[in-house]
A and B are shown apart, each in its own frame.
Chain A
Amino acid sequence: MRFMLLFSRQGKLRLQKWYTATAERDKKKMVRELMQVVLARKPKMCSFLEWRDLKIVYKRYASLYFCCAVEEQDNELITLEVIHRFVELLDKYFGSVCELDIIFNFEKAYFILDEFLMGGEIQDTSKKGVLKAIEQADLLQEVDVSSPKSFFLFK
């Protein structure tokens, strides 16, 4: 996967994750262009489109569009399910997630995505596996983990 974008129906970018080095200027240009293309599409249209040299796989959940750019040879359907699984993870973590959760807890959304995808590839597909990592981190919160003892308490 080259990148993943979350944006609202109004064209506000809510989350962006780039898996290849891209200059800021190009990123902005690509985001603008792609949002335009995707937002112009009608509900019944297919979830895949060719854009530049990439395949775009997108799906709308309520007011948010989840949009992935994958390589020519990547599997579109499984990418669609990558999106779905990510939504499930967010949902599970926030408890029926809405756009506001992602706005106000953007850093959490990034952490969850990082636990799920790394370098554009799936790290773990198990919901439990990913959430365990996140929740463990939440437990660690403000606890000073400098001494091994206190760390093992929460292991």
Chain B
Amino acid sequence: MPAVSKGDGMRGLAVFISDIRNCKSKEAEIKRINKELANIRSKFKGDKALDGYSKKKYVCKLLFIFLLGHDIDFGHMEAVNLLSSNKYTEKQIGYLFISVLVNSNSELIRLINNAIKNDLSSRNPTFMCLALHCIANVGSREMAEAFAGEIPRILVAGDTMDSVKQSAALCLLRLYRTSPDLVLMGEWTSRVVHLLNDQHMGVVTAAISLITCLSQKNPEEFKTCVSLAVSRLSRIVSSASTDLQDYTYYFVPAPWLSCKLLRLLQCYPPPEDGAVKGRLVECLETILNKAQEPPKSKKVQHSNAKNAILFEAIALIIHYDSEPNLLVRACNQLGQFLQHRETNLRYLALESMCTLASSEFSHEAVKTHIETVINALKTERDVSVRQRAADLLYAMCDRSNAKQIVAEMLSYLETADYSIREEMVLKVAILAEKYAVDYSWYVDTILNLIRIAGDYVSEEVWYRVIQIVINRDDVQGYAAKTVFEALQAPACHENMVKVGGYILGEFGNLIAGDPRSSPLVQFNLLHSKFHLCSVPTRALLLSAYIKFINLFPETKPTIQEVLRCDSQIRNSDVELQQRAVEYLKLSSIASTDVLATVLEEMPPFPERESSILAKLKKKKGPGAVSGNELEEGKREGGELNGAGERPGDSSAIGASNASTPSPSADLLGLRSAAPVSAAPPSAGSLLVDVFSEAGPAAPAAGANDDGFLRDLEPPTESSDSLLAEGPGDSDSAPPSVVSEDPAPPLPESDELLNKFVCKNNGVLFENQLLQIGVKSEYRQNLGRMYLFYGNKTSVQFVNFTTTVSCPGELQSQLNVQLKPVDPLVEGGAQVQQVINIECLTVFSDAPLLNIKFRYGGALQNLTLKLPVAINKFFQPTEMSSHDFFQRWKQLSQPQQEAQKIFKANHAMDTEVLKAKLLGLGTALLEKVDPNPDNFVCAGVIQTKAQQVGCLLRLEPNAQAQMYRLTLRSSKDTVAKRLCELLAEQF
């Protein structure tokens, strides 16, 4: 037991603690604790009233037991009793117990709050501080509800003692963090800001934490703090090392306060007032200068405090990103740290330089340190420092040094720590793609990556190399040759087999001329790896084999032999078996023409954000990379593969799925799946590949990772569709012509149409005989609709035919292509028909769908309107409030606006309204309209001829049960048409 026992010794407690420490085993400890708990319980329950000291002692023991990691479920009441004690230490222990063992019992909370209230109003500063500490330690919503109103008053009151002010400021901060809605500064704002001028440095230190947090949330209201902060900082920076007495820390004047002031300034843009700005720049220069002065002490605390201010100042300089001189100076001073003997400084310098690398002013200056950083990557003994070095290399990479950096990172990968390999692989892959001048270098790099760190090459990486090879015909031959060579290594990674299988399947023909890589040699090479691979890779290889049959007819017998063998055709894995069976069948019954169509070369992938970049972002958390990437995106305007979306690029928005308006996060490609959905350019094949059975209701680009794989693989992969639309069906006759003229549209057809304005799926029509269901999906200016004709009777429909017509000018506005439908619909059966739609330009009317069939000899003839309206081709557009109103103003000509005021047809439910507006296809913009009851939306209508931007505002008036709907659009007819369509919806 130590001799020191300051304050009140609690002998019983000390004995207990020694006992616990002397326990030889965990069991003994638990036994001793249980004994003590039983003892305390009996004391608390006993008849004899405990005196304050005993109560304090037992509560303290319970606290100790709890802190050892055991559960404590009693003693709260005794602790609360201690709160109302007049003895300071008893009160103190009571508060400590309550703060550590927070309890949600409401009766208890009421008692605690009462005690706190008494202490807050006691005017005894020591008690007030205890109460404030307790509120801050618990920080619950209940506490906020009870005290958030009182504390600001204490904080700014003239007669409050400094120590209480400090506690009140931080207590308020804690409550603000948990329940910002309950802490209303309002009238206190300016007085709180002026605490920055307080004479007491402790008060300023505490208050500035509060002010910083409030400024982050309400920058406008607190912006007067900028000039106050600058003058305070200036006074500290220019003071001599002893001026601030107790606030000087190892010869550094007020380091904590300086750092906090610099942090506060980072909540704001550079000061507009020239004088303030000048003073601040002076401060920053002084800080940089002081950091260069010889140290006043050899103690590490001195240099830490000094450099803490330096790093914070540099963070502010980077935040402003407007003072080239300061940026370059900062970079040079950090450069000196790169070889400092303190590991901490090397680490921080590398980290800070990462952000400097993204500024156009200092990027070049950072680059001059490349050799030092590479050296750090190789020689640092601490993995976290090496990680920072790798990050910095990544950040400083550009076209001029990409080859060197990628080579260094690759060679580091061979020995890199397992914990950072995957991230390193992603980074190498991204840099290789981004700065590839010639794509053979890119292909080499990625194949090297797979060779060196195959286990860490995630799917995104090898998907990406395939995407790029497919999209660039100049590299396909080289890729085939290189991958062929790589596969010859005796042990090669399964990821290499995947890439090899895919590339040779697509482009093996490009190297087939060389007898050393003749078709059979290629096939044998691939097949020699087959048995070592996992099921997904084998499945991919089977697809490669069927592509081989198409590319090289001479391999057909060999491959058929392979497919036919029991280990394939009777494989216990369903997927493999199905592929083997179907590919074998396909290769034997399909004509070469059909085979060539089915196995046509993969169409190019749409250029979007690199999926690897998205993955890296996900790994690092949003924001960690994006700032950097955007910057680099700006600098590297001409990059080859469009990694990183450019702001304002509407085609990037367009690539998201229109049928289910996706939240903006999806636009950034955070879902790795989105980027690769294959959208072939030819007009014939729309949206998802023709053969894919992808459920029409599901988003075309799978939101899950399976979808990624499915979309990436060639169309033949989805096996059931092969049978459904295989060669057998492909030449079935077009709908036979029925002589009778189509009937006029049903009177209710317009009404039916209205049901589908805000939704894509549902029942379009139903009578006693027939039910017609619709599912549809749209992307850009293309749409695909599935019609399901259900025979509700038990008798078959014969001569079932359907036609679509586009009356009048619609013919030139919309291109509608009807796929054949089975002329026979059995009783109780359903047949499906696919309609492809292309929007050429804006249109108003809907195409007509005529259906004819014979039911028991009687001709049925009905005409409906196809539920296609102009809004189906909306691409949602996210924009800020500022952008919205700017564009709104730009569209102010009378013909650009259409407005309707109408009575609500349905209940005015906010959620229903939101769902409808989302169904419309536009983006529903939150926090744009100053009136929170209003809705505003934005979208771009995609037609082949043009893009039409539209803005919408819907103002509900619940009292009058009315709406006012306003549409503005760059094309007058569109606003009018949308207004008509929508007015029926609400």
Q: Verify A124–B206 contact, CB threshold 8 A.
A: yes
B422 at the interface (CB under 8 A from A): no
**B67 at the A interface (CB under 8 A):** yes
Report yes or no: A45 in contact with B256, Cβ–Cβ below 8 A: no
B96 touches A121 (CB 8 A): no
Among A16, A46, A133, which residue has the most Cβ atoms of chain B within 10 A?
A: A46
* B205-244 residues at the A interface, CB under 8 angstroms: 205-206, 209
CA distance A54 to B263 in the complex (A): 18
In angstroms, Cα B908 to Cα A140, docked, is: 64
Answer yes or no: A153 CB below 8 A from chain B CBs: no
CA distance A122 to B228 in the complex (A): 20
Q: A48-B347, A122-B205, A123-B202 known; A105 and B305 CB under 8 Å?
A: no
Give, as a whole number of angstroms, the nearest-CB distance from B290 to chain A: 15
Q: Quick one: closest A residue to B6, CB to CB?
A: A138
CB-CB < 8 A to B7: which residues of A? 108, 137-138, 141
Q: Inside 8 A of A13's CB, which chain B residues have their CB?
A: 67, 69
Report B-chain residues with C-beta under 8 Å of the C-beta of A127.
246
| A125:B6 contact, CB within 8 angstroms | no
Q: Is the CB of A140 within 8 A of B382?
A: no
Residues of B within 8 Å of A49, CB to CB, are 384
Given A80-B304, A118-B167, A44:B382 Cβ within 8 A: yes
B53 — nearest CB in chain A belongs to which residue? Answer: A142
Q: Which residue of A lies closest to B66 (CB)?
A: A24
Q: Is B855 an interface residue (CB 8 A)?
A: no
Q: Closest CB-CB distance, A84 to chain B, in whole Å?
A: 6
Q: Is the CB of B382 within 8 A of A46?
A: yes
Residues of B within 8 A of A101 (CB): 2, 4
Does A129 lie within 8 Å of B202, measured CB to CB? yes
- B236-274 CB mask vs A (1 if < 8 Å, else 0) is 000000000011010000111101000100000000000
Contact B124 A110 (CB under 8 A): no
A42→B382 CA distance, assembly (Å) = 9
State the CA gap A20–B177 with chains docked (Å): 9
- Contact stretch, chosen from B81-89, B571-579, B683-691: B81-89
| Complexed CA–CA distance, A82 and B255 (Å) | 11
- Kindly name the residue among A93, A124, A127, A136 whose own CB sees the greatest number of chain B CB atoms within 10 A: A124
For residue B246, give the distance in angstroms from its CB to the closest CB of chain A. Answer: 4
* CB <8 Å contact, A121 and B259: no
Establish whether residues B385 and A123, one from each chain, have CB atoms under 8 Å apart when the complex forms: no
Instruction: Kindly name the residue among A13, A105, A119, A143 whose own CB sees the greatest number of chain B CB atoms within 10 A.
Output: A119
Shortest beta-carbon distance, B309 to chain A, in Å? 8
Q: Are B205 and A125 in contact (CB under 8 A)?
A: yes
Question: Is B4 in contact with A140, judged by CB distance below 8 angstroms?
Answer: no
Per-position binary interface string of chain B over residues 1-36, scored 1 when its CB falls under 8 Å from any chain A CB and 0 otherwise = 110111110000010010001000000000000000
| Known contacts A46-B384, A118-B133, A122-B205; is-contact A128 B304 (Cβ 8 Å) | no
Per-position binary interface string of chain B over residues 108-146, scored 1 when its CB falls under 8 Å from any chain A CB and 0 otherwise? 000000000000000010100100110011011000000
Q: What is the chain A residue whose CB lies nearest that of B244?
A: A126
Tell me, in angstroms, the Cα distance from A142 to B87 when the chains sit together.
6
Q: Which residues of B contact A26 (CB under 8 A)?
A: none
Q: How far is the CB of B48 from chain A (nearest CB, A)?
A: 21
Whether a CB of chain A sits under 8 angstroms from the CB of B308 is: yes
Contact code string B56-77 (vs A, CB < 8 Å = 1, else 0):
0000100110010100000000
On whether A108 and B6 interact (CB within 8 A), knowing A119-B139, A140-B126, the answer reads yes
B171 interface residue (CB < 8 Å to A): yes
With the chains together, A108 CA to B263 CA distance in Å?
32
Chain A's nearest CB lies how many Å from the CB of B341?
10
Residue contact A45 to B64, C-beta cutoff 8 Å = no
Smallest distance from the beta carbon of A121 to chain B beta carbons, Å? 4
A15's nearest neighbour on chain B, judged by CB, is B67
Check A107 for interface membership: any CB of B closer than 8 A: yes
How far does the alpha carbon of A108 sit from the alpha carbon of B96 in the complex, in Å? 10
Chain B residues, CB < 8 A from A120: 174
- Tell me the complex Cα distance, A151–B5, Å: 24
> Given the interface contacts A81-B249, A141-B8, does A48 sit within 8 Å of B344 by beta carbon?
yes
Nearest-Cβ distance from residue B128 to partner chain A, whole angstroms = 12
Contact A81:B304 (CB < 8 A) given known A118-B136, A140-B88 = yes
User: What's the Cα separation between A111 and B382 when bound, in Å?
Assistant: 36
How many B residues face the partner with a CB closer than 8 A?
A: 73
A103 within 8 A of B: yes
The answer to whether the Cβ of A36 comes within 8 Å of any Cβ in the partner chain is no
Closest partner residue, chain B, to A128 (CB atom)? B246
Q: Which residues of chain A are within 8 angstroms of B166 by Cβ–Cβ distance? A: 118, 123-124
Contact between B305 and A78, CB atoms less than 8 A apart: yes
A46 touches B4 (CB 8 A): no
Cα A68 to Cα B725 in complex, Å, equals 63
Which of B96, B205, B246, B348 is in CB contact (< 8 Å) with A77? B348
Partner of B173, one of A47, A119, A151: A119
Residue from A16, A48, A77, A133 having most chain B Cβ neighbours under 10 A: A77
Would you list which residues of chain A between 18 and 35 have a CB under 8 Å from chain B?
19-21, 28
A84 to B614, CA, bound (A): 40
Q: Which residue of B lies closest to A98 (CB)?
A: B2
A44 x B249 contact (CB < 8 A): no
A123 and B206 within 8 A (CB): yes
Judged by a CB distance under 8 angstroms, whether B163 is at the interface is yes
- Residue B92 is within 8 A (CB to CB) of chain A in the complex: yes
Q: Which residues of B contact A19 (CB under 8 A)?
A: 174
The reply to whether B256 and A122 form a contact with Cβ atoms under 8 Å apart is: yes
B247: A residues at CB distance < 8 A: 125-126
**Is B311 an interface residue when CB atoms closer than 8 A count as contact?**
yes
Tell me the bound Cα distance from A81 to B305 in angstroms: 7
Q: Mark A76-101, 1 if CB is under 8 A from B, else 0.
A: 11101110110000000111001011
In the assembled complex, B717 has its CB within 8 A of some CB on chain A: no
Given that A49-B384, A123-B206 are known contacts, is A28 also in contact with B88, CB under 8 Å in the complex? no
CB distance from A116 to the nearest CB of B (A): 11
The verdict on A104 contacting B1 (CB below 8 Å), with A77-B308, A142-B8 known, is yes
B381 within 8 A of A: yes
Q: Determine whether the beta carbon of B124 is less than 8 Å from that of A151.
A: yes
User: For the complex, is B343 an interface residue (Cβ under 8 Å from A)?
Assistant: yes
Shortest A96–chain B CB gap in Å is: 9
Find out whether the CB atom of A21 lies under 8 angstroms from the CB atom of B126. no
Q: How many whole Å from A73's CB to the nearest CB in chain B?
A: 8
C-alpha spacing A136/B140, complex, angstroms? 29
Question: With a CB–CB cut-off of 8 A, which chain A residues contact B305?
Answer: 77-78, 81
Interface status of B346 (Cβ within 8 A of chain A): yes
B178 within 8 A of A: yes
B203 (CB) vs chain A CBs: closest residue? A124
Q: Is A61's beta carbon under 8 Å from chain B?
A: no
Q: Report yes or no: B2 in contact with A46, Cβ–Cβ below 8 A.
A: no
Q: Is B301 part of the contact surface with A, judged by Cβ < 8 Å?
A: yes
Does B14 contact A104, Cβ atoms closer than 8 Å? yes
A10 in the interface (beta carbon within 8 A): no
Contact status of A140 and B89, CB under 8 A, knowing A16-B67, A119-B170:
yes
Q: Bound complex: CA of A144 vs CA of B69, how far in Å?
A: 34
Judging by beta carbons under 8 Å apart, are A125 and B257 in contact? yes
Instruction: Please give, as numbers and ranges, the residues of chain A lying within 8 Å of B382 by CB-CB distance.
Output: 42, 44-46
- Which one of A13, A44, A111, A138 has the greatest number of beta carbons of chain B within 10 Å? A111
CB A60 to nearest CB in B, in angstroms, measures 13
Q: Is B621 an interface residue (CB 8 A)?
A: yes
Report the separation of the CA atoms of residues A105 and B8 in the bound assembly, to the nearest whole angstrom: 10
**Are A111 and B343 CB-contacts (below 8 A) given A104-B17, A118-B174, A123-B202?**
no
A122 and B1 alpha carbons, distance in the complex (Å): 32
Alpha-carbon separation in the docked complex, A129 to B202 (Å): 8
Shortest Cβ distance from residue A137 to the other chain B in the assembled complex, whole angstroms: 6
User: Contacts A21-B178, A77-B304 known; A125 to B171 CB distance under 8 Å?
Assistant: no
The 5 A-B pairs at the shortest CB distance, nearest first, are namely A119-B174, A77-B308, A146-B86, A140-B88, A124-B202
Q: Could you jot down 28 A-B contacts, CB within 8 Å?
A: A20-B139, A42-B382, A45-B343, A46-B346, A75-B308, A77-B305, A77-B311, A81-B249, A81-B256, A81-B301, A84-B301, A94-B6, A95-B4, A104-B1, A104-B2, A106-B63, A107-B63, A114-B137, A118-B133, A118-B174, A119-B209, A122-B256, A123-B206, A124-B166, A126-B246, A137-B7, A142-B8, A142-B89
